[in-house]
Chain A
């Protein structure tokens, strides 16, 4: 049998459906991989091995259910969701999270599709950073160089997918928290349109920008997960009653060609936001897309700086409200770096919040008419440079803030605009760290992103590579050390 750690969502479900393996075998193999890499990477806040095996055996007893799209497929999720067995930590041991609801439709839909949760994944505290550094649960390490950060805030999700612990993971993305770690760890990170995936039951950071997201090794796997999970949730006020296409089926019908697709590229912005390696890799990736039939259209993305400013203020106002009274009463219980960031949010006013929301509509209208009317897909780097070292982030005077800001500036504007965005791995920098290409399109046109990303992955192999540490035994303990 081939290495199960590299099996895609479709391969796992297919092998189980054909009786070539069982849910229990697959789950056991992935749990073993988790135990192999987690001591060094700190992917998990809680590996729920017993519950996972129990569910795997239960599914194996339901042979007539095998046609479900993700039957027996292991996954894990960022620890921001409520469930019937757990309350999320949101990455903090000491600050209680009070959630009124007890269910997450996102997790319920994945369970209905047959997926098996292996556990809850590590993150930057409350999702409010982009480094993956976490003083309470260990700093998530980058599997391609464990001295480097994984990026965040869905840090554990990216590291777990990159090392074959799970074929996909669920994260959340308010300013790049799916795409940034996906780029740094060499996997696909998809943030759909605002309101596409049900976020009820997930700890909020910025109500007006939060979007759940999918991390996977391939674009095709992301499409399968999106198809299973997308859809209106009438109890979620941010959810839109929009029909969800059959993303995976539609993708299977694509030719792999991109003839006629207009790629919007701002070459001045690209040069200004990237280092030499990322700049070259993005240009090469654009060349690959052109080779598939796409055509480059020069655009001006100077407007992104204004959207980033407004997104920052909107985030301050909303995360400030999320933590308001708890922060006032229990400030000492917050980890120092998190406390520092939340203190900054106190400078936002109610009127700023309303103005940011008013501007959100203007901005989307402007971007639609000035940019998206002329191109099909906007292309940028996901992250401009290789990830910092963990030591630099943790020991630095400002504890990761500059690192987070640099990564967020390329991503956060698209959260403010509510636009679907996806990071696709495009190779490795000279220091051996992965790089990502960000693709952005019109609201609800995720299928266009998926077609573009999947076409790219039919002629490249970056997404198939596994970091060498994924094969090592559980010798390292870097991540869990103070």
Chain B
């Protein structure tokens, strides 16, 4: 299980504004706040999922499994 702190406070308007700016998009504080309100629940839930991953959960496992299933079929 996770030993991380809850992430809820991380995804606020200032966080979204900064993330967007780092990718070359300037958002108004109001728009950034709107986005934060919609994405925070998703990102919080995703953080909880990601916290369950082990170091050896590899991003190529999906393709390996599909290839193994092909041999099975």
Contact = CB atoms under 8 A, between A and B. Distances in A.
B48 to A, nearest CB: 9
Contact of A354 (B15, B59, B65, B69): B59
A444 B73 contact: yes
Contact of A344 (B35, B60, B62, B64): B35
Given A328-B23, A346-B19, A349-B19, A313 B46 contact: yes
Nearest to B64: A361
Given A310-B46, A310-B49, A362-B57, A325 B24 contact: yes
Contacts of A364: 62, 65-66
Contacts of B59: 354, 357-358, 360-361
Question: Which of B15, B53, B61, B69 gathers the greatest number of chain A CB atoms within 10 Å?
Answer: B69
A329 B42 CA distance: 27
A443 B68 CA distance: 10
A451 to B, nearest CB: 14
A347 interface: yes
A324 B62 contact: no
10 contacts: A309-B42, A313-B42, A313-B43, A324-B23, A343-B25, A343-B31, A352-B46, A359-B50, A361-B60, A368-B65
A167 to B, nearest CB: 28
B39 interface: yes
B46 A343 contact: no
B49 A309 contact: yes
Interface string B13-30: 001100110011101000
Contacts, number: 111
B58 interface: yes
Interface of B: 11, 15-16, 19-20, 23-25, 27, 31, 35-36, 38-39, 42-43, 45-46, 49-50, 53, 57-62, 64-67, 69-70, 73
B73 A331 contact: no
Contact of B66 (A240, A324, A331): A240
Given A343-B35, A361-B64, 13 more contacts: A195-B66, A309-B46, A309-B49, A324-B23, A328-B24, A346-B20, A346-B23, A347-B15, A357-B62, A358-B57, A358-B58, A361-B65, A365-B65
B36 A443 contact: no
A364 B63 CA distance: 10
A403 B48 CA distance: 26
A442 to B, nearest CB: 6
A343 B27 contact: yes
B66 A418 contact: yes
Nearest to B38: A344
Given A347-B35, A442-B73, A445-B73, A361 B57 contact: yes
A340 to B, nearest CB: 9
Question: Which of A352, A444, A445 gathers the greatest number of chain B CB atoms within 10 Å?
Answer: A444
A355 B53 contact: yes
Interface in A320-360: 320, 324-325, 327-329, 331, 343-344, 346-347, 349, 352, 354-360
Contact of A443 (B24, B38, B45, B69): B69
A362 B35 contact: no
The B interface is mostly helix, strand or loop, or mixed, namely helix
Contacts of B35: 343-344, 346-347
Contacts of A313: 42-43, 46
A234 B15 CA distance: 42
A306 interface: yes
Given A313-B42, A355-B53, A362 B61 contact: yes
A368 B72 CA distance: 13
Contacts of A358: 50, 53, 57-59, 61
A421 interface: no
A122 interface: no
Contacts of B69: 368, 442-444
A343 B20 contact: yes
A5 B50 CA distance: 50
Contact of B70 (A242, A325, A329, A344): A242
A312 interface: yes
A30 B4 CA distance: 60
A361 B58 contact: yes
A352 B48 CA distance: 12
Contact of B73 (A195, A208, A309, A443): A443
A360 to B, nearest CB: 4
Shortest Cβ-Cβ A-B pairs, 7 listed: A361-B61, A328-B24, A357-B59, A443-B69, A355-B50, A361-B62, A346-B20
Interface in A188-213: 193-195, 208
Nearest to B56: A358
Nearest to B36: A347
B40 to A, nearest CB: 9
Contacts of A365: 61, 65
A240 B67 contact: yes
Interface in A339-394: 343-344, 346-347, 349, 352, 354-362, 364-365, 368
Nearest to B68: A443
B66 A347 contact: no
